[in-house]
Amino acid sequence: MADIRILGISGSLRKGSYNSAALKVAAGLMPAGARLEIFDISGIPLYNEDAKAQGYPEPVQRLREKIAAADGVVFATPEYNFSTSGVLKNAIDWASRPPEQPFDDKAVAIMGASGGVLGTARAQYHLRQIGVFLNMRFVNKPEVFIGGAASKFDAAGNLTDETAKGLIRNLMAELVTWSKRLKKD
């Protein structure tokens, strides 16, 4: 069987983002026969239906193509004001416009890191609500909530918490398994 392709999307634009770092960790913990590519959403403009009428902006078109080509998607979301980040919601809004909404029936996993104790639990649940309408097929377990992130990543962005690494490894394994089951090729 061909490699399982997973697309990683961080909901943080910050250079030292713990969520972007968590995706890099996930890329190194992928099961055999699977690979994770990280897509940078920083070039995606604010959603505007008038702009869409002129065609998808180039970064949006690339994102849509990457999602469509992937067997699964993993989001790493920060938590802002008890929800996911505006930039992640904006990228999802752009990518999900018809025609051919690329999230439909796609295997999806969520993880997140924050300074708070709950480690993005509320943001992840909001992201699941968004995904229900888009017919995303979520991995339910394990849940990866990396709380107190400043103490779990070193200054270079390396995850030093072995429990969190294990959860990410298990989440990626479940996402790959789920992606194989839903694969349409």
Between CA 116 and CA 160 the distance in angstroms is 17
State the pTM of this model.
0.96
Structure tokens at 142: 């394990």
Structural domain for 26, as ranges = 4-182
Number of domains in the chain: 1
Residues 122 and 113 sit within 8 Å (Cβ to Cβ): no
pLDDT of amino acid 23: 98
Query: What is the average pLDDT across 35-53?
Result: 94
- Top pLDDT among 98 and 177 is at 177
Tens digits of residue pLDDT in 106-137: 999 999 999 999 899 999 999 999 999 999 99
Peptide bond connecting 142 to the previous residue in cis, omega within 30 degrees of 0 = yes
- Determine what percent of the chain is predicted with pLDDT higher than 90: 91
pLDDT band at 52 (very low <50, low <70, confident <90, very high): confident
Cβ neighbours of residue 51 closer than 8 Å, sequence gap 6 or more? 45, 57
Q: The domain spanning residue 50 has which CATH number?
A: 3.40.50.360
